[in-house]
């Protein structure tokens, strides 16, 4: 249920009236009715409604053409049928109950694992990259590919248009060779272009073991005349290992990395928690992409692990000799002599070729820094200024002591009040 509907259930809630001049202005009933007139009756009805209600024109020409082109009839249950390049849940029948016991479609699950989000992710750090790159910075595509190469657990990609073969090949290598879980969500209108890229990438069946591909679209608007329009998913970000995210205006296409001007932000730390929640929400509302029409190659056999060469077979005569306990004693002596010889060789290699004993150099102890004002002053010998204390305690008229030892005077010199002030 929408938040506005939940607010209407509150008896004490009051909907404040706002106009276009307020920053909080978002919903307008006049705009909704104008949009319904556009979808149901066309452009002329929309212009007439705008003039009659004196509503400010809120749609551009590009938006008007897109809405008229993407408007379609809404048939309940049609979203459960399979579309071109798309697959849906296993349950094809639509429930006729108002509160069904189970969902009409299966909930997609992050079955290959997902990083834990309960712990603290670290200090937030942000780095901005531009395309064309600034002086001293790398280009955007290199940043993205290095981020994929450093992934160890999971890579989650949400992209409006994904046709870059190089980046896709990096994702395939991460999923197949390093066993990194890869989740990809593309915009629904870009699914045919994504499938065409998969054909060019030379995929084999082993690439699908650790990769999941789904599609999603934007929010939907339903009219009272059983028609609907939907927006597009314009989010572009990549979430890696639960502690790093790459987001910005950069799409995974060749032209975006070569011709277009783009900007991305690389974020690490606890701030990536927003990308974690957003991707899981997108994955929950997404639909599966049918990859069965792609001509997959056979999965290559895993590379054999190098093994030591087998030992040559031992003859029967030698085998009988090896059973004798004397042979074990001989082999142990041979092993000891070989180990001693190897240790002597290592010691000879480590010694100085000239035969000289190399002593470690003494480190110079640097004196503590000296204040510039003390450079030309003479050293003070404080032995003659040692404090002396009279015994027993002096009388109450003693105000202090001169800690100067003079050979001509007694050792304990009392400074009386009369002597101090010459009275």
Quote the pLDDT of residue 213: 94
Provide the percentage of residues in the chain whose pLDDT is more than 90: 35
Q: List the domain boundaries for the chain.
A: 3-70, 79-88+121-289, 380-421
Would you say residue 410 has pLDDT above 60? no
Compute and round to an integer the Cα radius of gyration of the chain: 41
Dihedrals phi, psi of 349, to nearest 5 degrees? -65, -35
pTM over 0.85: no
Structure tokens, 40:
């149901």
Dihedrals phi, psi of 325, to nearest 5 degrees? -60, -25
pLDDT tens digits along 96-117: 666 666 665 677 788 898 988 7
pLDDT category of residue 254 using cuts at 50, 70 and 90:
very high
Separation CA 121–CA 182 (nearest Å): 21
Quote the pLDDT of residue 21: 78
pLDDT tens digits along 21-70: 788 777 788 889 999 999 988 899 999 999 999 888 889 999 999 999 98
Separation CA 113–CA 43 (nearest Å): 49
* Span 298-312, average pLDDT: 73
The number of beta carbons lying within 10 Å of the beta carbon of residue 178 is 12
The number of beta carbons lying within 10 Å of the beta carbon of residue 153 is 16
Would you say residue 85 has pLDDT above 80? no
Would you say residue 81 has pLDDT above 50? no
Quote the pLDDT of residue 7: 76
* Span 88-98, average pLDDT: 54
Find the range with the poorest average confidence among 5-9, 57-61, 94-98, 370-374: 94-98
pLDDT tens digits along 325-369: 766 666 666 656 666 666 555 554 555 545 455 566 667 777 777
Separation CA 257–CA 237 (nearest Å): 15
Instruction: Provide the CATH number for the domain formed by 79-88+121-289 in this structure.
Output: 3.30.870.10
- HEC profile for 318-352? HHHHHHCHHHHHHHHHHHHHHHHHHHHHHHHHHCC
pLDDT tens digits along 160-188: 999 999 999 999 999 999 999 999 999 99
Nearest in space to 262 (alpha carbons), one of 400, 133, 160: 133
Dihedrals phi, psi of 336, to nearest 5 degrees? -65, -45
Would you say residue 317 has pLDDT above 70? yes
389 or 168: whose pLDDT is higher?
Answer: 168
pLDDT tens digits along 192-214: 999 999 999 888 888 888 999 99
Give the three-class secondary structure for 258: helix
Q: Which residues pair with 237 in a beta bridge?
A: 158, 247
What is the residue whose two structure tokens read 């690490």? 268
pLDDT category of residue 398 using cuts at 50, 70 and 90:
low
pLDDT category of residue 215 using cuts at 50, 70 and 90:
very high
Largest CA distance in the chain: 123
360 or 137: whose pLDDT is higher?
Answer: 137
Dihedrals phi, psi of 46, to nearest 5 degrees? -65, -45
Sign for the CA dihedral angle at 86, 91, 95, 98 comes to: negative
Separation CA 284–CA 158 (nearest Å): 13
């Amino acid at each position: 249920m929408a938040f506005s509907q939940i607010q209407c259930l509150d008896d004490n809630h009051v909907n404040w009236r706002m106009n276009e001049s307020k920053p909080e202005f978002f919903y307008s009933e006049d705009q909704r009715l104008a949009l319904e007139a556009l979808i149901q009756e066309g452009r002329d009805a929309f212009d007439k409604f705008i003039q009659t209600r004196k509503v400010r024109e809120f749609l551009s020409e590009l938006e008007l053409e897109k809405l008229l082109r993407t408007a379609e009839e809404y048939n309940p249950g049609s979203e459960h049928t399979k579309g071109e390049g798309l697959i849906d849940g296993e349950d094809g029948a639509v429930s006729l109950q108002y509160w069904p016991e189970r969902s009409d479609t299966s909930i997609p699950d992050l079955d290959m694992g997902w990083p834990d989000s309960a712990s603290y992710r670290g200090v937030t750090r942000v780095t901005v990259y531009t395309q064309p790159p600034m002086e001293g910075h790398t280009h955007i595509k290199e940043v993205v590919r290095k981020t994929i190469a450093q992934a160890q657990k999971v890579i989650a990609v949400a992209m409006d248009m994904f046709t870059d073969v190089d980046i896709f090949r990096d994702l395939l290598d991460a999923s197949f060779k390093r066993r990194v879980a890869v989740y990809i969500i593309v915009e629904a209108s870009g699914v045919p272009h994504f499938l065409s890229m998969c054909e060019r990438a030379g995929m084999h069946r082993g690439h699908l073991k650790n990769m999941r591909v789904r599609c999603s679209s934007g929010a939907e608007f339903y009219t009272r005349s059983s028609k609907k329009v939907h927006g597009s998913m314009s989010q572009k970000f990549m979430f890696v290992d639960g502690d790093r995210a790459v987001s910005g205006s950069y799409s995974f296409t060749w032209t975006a990395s070569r011709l277009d001007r783009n900007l991305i932000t690389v974020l690490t730390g606890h701030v990536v928690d927003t990308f974690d929640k957003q991707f899981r929400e997108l994955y929950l509302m997404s639909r599966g992409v049918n990859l069965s029409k792609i001509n997959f190659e056979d999965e290559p056999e895993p590379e054999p692990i190098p093994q030591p060469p087998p030992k040559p077979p031992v003859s029967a005569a030698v085998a009988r000799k090896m059973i004798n306990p004397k042979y074990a004693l001989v082999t142990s002596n041979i092993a000891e002599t070989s180990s001693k010889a190897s240790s002597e060789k290592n010691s000879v290699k480590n010694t100085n070729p000239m035969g000289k004993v190399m002593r470690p150099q003494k480190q110079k102890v640097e004196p503590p820094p000296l204040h510039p004002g003390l450079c030309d002053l003479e050293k003070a010998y404080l032995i003659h200024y040692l404090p002396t204390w009279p015994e027993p305690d002096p009388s109450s008229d003693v105000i202090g002591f001169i800690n100067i030892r003079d050979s001509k005077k007694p050792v304990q010199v009392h400074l009386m009040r009369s002597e101090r002030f010459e009275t």
